[in-house]
Amino acid sequence: MASKGRESWGKRQREQTKRERQEAKRAERAERRQSDDEPSVEGLPEEELYKQFAELSAAKANGEIDEETFEARKEEIWTQLGLELQ
């Protein structure tokens, strides 16, 4: 009878390990699902940002906005595009 007790203890351990692995997989799936639901890029689409920059450049060339406004808005657009100002 003593050996039978060890076998059931081993079985309980295996089952516990199996449950823990299943729970870990469930948590990973839930995390993936949550990250898929969130938009990967914040803000406007890339082509819209390029269009805004073209309009901004045209406005500066036509004298509609000053240099300071141009630089501030250019920095905002470039940041959203993920570009670095040099």
Q: How far is CA 56 from CA 15, 31, 35, 69, 77, in A?
A: 64, 40, 34, 10, 10
- pLDDT > 70: what percent of the chain? 81
Q: pLDDT tens for residues 44-74?
A: 688 899 999 999 999 999 999 999 999 999 9
Mean predicted lDDT score pLDDT of the chain: 84
| Higher per-residue pLDDT: 1 or 4 | 4
| Higher per-residue pLDDT: 39 or 81 | 81
**Cα–Cα distance for residue pair 70/78, rounded to 1 Å:** 12
